[in-house]
Chains A and B, each alone.
Chain A
Amino acid sequence: MTDHINSRNFSRRTALALPALGFSALSLPGHARAQGDGPPRRGGTLTYAVAAEPPTYDLHATSTFAVMHRVAPHYSTLLRYEAHNYPNVVGDVAESWTAADDRLSYTFKLHSNIRFHDGTPLTSEDVKASYDRLRAPPEGVVSNRLPSFQQIAAIETPDPLTVVFRMKAVDASIMDTFSSPWNSIFSAARLRADPNFPARNVMGSGPFRFVEHVAGSHWAGERFDGYFRDGHPYLDGFRAITMSPSAMVNALSGRQIMAEFRGFTPNERDRIVRALGEDSLVQESSWMLHMILTFNTKQKPFDDARVRRALSLAIDRWGGSQNLSRISQLGQVGGLVRPGSSWSATPEEMQKWPGYGRDMVANRAEAKRLLREAGHENLTFTLLDRNHQPYVTAGIFLIDQWRQIGVRVEHQQAELSAWYAAQGSGNFSALVDSFTQFSDDPTNVLVKYISSDRAEINVSGSTDRELDRLFDQQASTVDPVARKALVRQFETRLFDESYAVPILWWQRIVVMNRRVRGWTMAPTHMIYQDLGDVWLSA
């Protein structure tokens, strides 16, 4: 994962060959220590770029990195993923915890020295108020991941430093829920005064105190001296600057910023490396982010499983993976869970799914047969896409694949707001979509594909009670082997129906100035963003 690419004599051939190496040699999660951090150094202000403006300050209410990458340094969570050791979980405000043998209750002991930025102590009441807001939001409050909390029956606070979560049923993903970077701890007193306080204000117990947000310009934070972890944070402050992706490349190359934490394309990586030379640090990983082809199952002819399956069959995912990864962030072939994770299918298992077989001649012949059988040999439709990379790359690729089975497709590229509006209103035929999560846990990922009346994020409009049953069953199955088998069943069922199917998974390429130390690379851009461990070398 951690490596530096020498910029000298960087040829086109090298550029094309590197991504292929990247998967094997560079994409090793947890390898970031190889950069030779040494003893952390105190001081300095980290400047980094964020590509979009935050629609809210409330982590409970959103899923966008535009909020996470600015707001995370100001808050704490109950648990968190251990730095440089994903997906191991350690305590954040929790000093220790125990789970009942039947997994129907979890007891957390909190650190006694935690204070909010206004000086008030953080107690079990604050944890309870935050989780109550997440699982049963008051009117006017948005809880964006409500299904994650459905198994929590009650939250008790026997004393100021103890929190007990009582469960309705076993939830195999509950530890990920407690570690979620989105489930920040807010002040109970502030929430009592205004349940929507976090939407417009920032007041947490994280390593940095909020200074200012100038829309369209920057977000600034300063070191919180009362932070409960001794010696942390190392930085005096941070400044997140709003800029477009193309500007980021120039800003990083010109040393106006030190980092960007989401990811660059292979070509952008090469340009920055050429500019920064030995001062560049490249970290690569697979990414919990996949591109999805979603059909509007309420619209003809996509209400017919044969048409959907034919269009999925026509996609040469293996060829696309090998070649599109040279020019875009699109990377590995995978099912519904991140390829390479402990839950993913093997390539051999994948090849049994429609659209994942390597014999494209046979796949396309079968696709044509299905279309003929469905009476749609000369199918034409419009593919709704976003208007930036790598969505456009995916759209061009899909249209070429479908051209080869005689299907003609109009490529409609929309601005983000129009794209969301079309999703919400169901005003599309087929859609290039994407989905990201903060953990590999199957519940976090499969929720995208259960019936749309249970999960709003399923925009295909499909209803499939068999998928719902399999989802619920895996969510309460603790045995990883049995759970993995259920995930395979879920995937097989989904690919047969093809309401929405993965196209390719993304590859994460983070390039930063080598001065930035202590930051942890992960297969998700949503964690390790509190900057508490980050420091700047001389």
Chain B
Amino acid sequence: MSASTRDGPVMAWRRRNPVLGFIMAQPLGAAGLVVILVMAAAAIFANVVAPYDPEAIDFLAMLSPPSMEHPLGADAFGRDILTRIIYGARTALTIGFLSSFLGCTIGGLLGVTSAYFGGRVDLILQRFVDIVLSFPIIVLALVVVAVVGHRPIMGIDLNLIAAISIPIMPRAARVIRSAALAVRAMPYVDAARAGGYTHSHIILRHMAPNVLAPYLILLTAYIAQAILLEASLSFLGLGVSEPKPAWGLMLSGDSSNFYQEAPWMILFPGLAISLAVFAFNLFGDSLRDWLDPKFRT
């Protein structure tokens, strides 16, 4: 009996070509991935694909409706909205990915450490996680960014990334810990301890790689959360500063003053945020289904 007959066509494709297998098994997730790739390409090649300079003021185009010159219209300073959305993707993806990566990685390591040591260490770490989890994610990010301020280096605000990643850490720690508890019970971990390996060696080399699946799922899911957080903080005036293009920022300031006369000022950035979050969520959910053995049918 051939593999395809025994496991079905999807499983066969999964073995032969994982990408095609993912597309066949998770078409919605694949659609999300396409949107993410398009956004990433736009962000990387923004200075090639964007029709204008995102910070260039054009008084002649102030509040212009969508037209051939400005397909998505222009804002109160005459800046092209399409251009600012393209460059905004760079801001959203950079801050979204870095924040999620930082939050999930540090949180994940805390979770694995907590699961590995158990006992008092686990108790203390998890109560600390409980305390941090009791704060709504946006409130915690607001507090952090208000306290640490801004520290832009090469156009990337490191403090903003830290502010967004800190609320992600306890959430990632809690999820990864539950996965790591199962790994901790595996005989090879006991064998490694009996073999005299150090704690850090066991955590990093034997346990962490075995929680990679939930880690990747969390990573994609929290990129969407981080994009939303960045947009929210920028909307509240605590994120990216004008005139840098950022989707949340495009919804605040003059947009809130002119949304009646120029609805395109809020419509298109809002759509960009929704589309990005939707795409990452679709992809994240599909990735979970794809990687989780319980969903493999």
Contact = CB atoms under 8 A, between A and B. Distances in A.
Interface in B239-266: 241-244, 253-254, 256-258, 260-262
Interface in B60-83: 62-63, 76-77
Nearest to A319: B59
B154 to A, nearest CB: 11
Nearest to B57: A400
Nearest to A400: B57
B57 A413 contact: no
B162 to A, nearest CB: 18
B257 A400 contact: no
Nearest to A326: B62
A323 B74 CA distance: 15
B interface majority secondary structure: loop
B185 interface: no
A12 B262 CA distance: 8
Contacts of A389: 253
B243 A411 contact: yes
Contacts of A399: 55, 243
B9 interface: no
Interface in A307-331: 319, 322-323, 326-327
A360 interface: no
Contacts of B59: 319, 322-323
Nearest to A388: B237
A326 B241 CA distance: 22
A322 B62 CA distance: 12
B63 A16 contact: yes
Contacts of B150: 412
B243 to A, nearest CB: 5
Interface residues of B, number: 24
B242 A12 contact: no
A392 interface: yes
Contacts of A413: 237, 241-242
A387 B261 CA distance: 24
A265 interface: yes
Given A400-B56, A413-B237, A395 B76 contact: no
Given A403-B56, A410-B152, A413-B237, A395 B63 contact: no
Contacts of A16: 62-63
Nearest to A327: B76
B56 A392 contact: no
A413 B241 CA distance: 7
A271 B53 CA distance: 31
B63 A12 contact: yes
Given A16-B63, A326-B62, A411 B57 contact: no
A400 B241 contact: no
B261 A12 contact: yes
A66 interface: no
Nearest to A385: B241
Nearest to B146: A415
A411 B242 contact: yes
Contacts of B56: 400, 403
A12 B76 CA distance: 11
Nearest to B254: A327
A433 interface: no
22 contacts: A12-B63, A12-B261, A15-B261, A246-B256, A267-B257, A267-B261, A268-B257, A327-B62, A327-B77, A327-B258, A389-B253, A392-B242, A397-B77, A400-B55, A400-B56, A400-B77, A400-B243, A403-B56, A410-B152, A411-B242, A412-B150, A413-B241
Given A395-B242, A403-B56, A410-B241, 12 more contacts: A12-B261, A268-B257, A322-B59, A387-B237, A392-B253, A393-B254, A397-B57, A399-B243, A400-B57, A410-B152, A411-B242, A413-B237
Interface of B: 53, 55-57, 59, 62-63, 76-77, 150, 152, 237, 241-244, 253-254, 256-258, 260-262
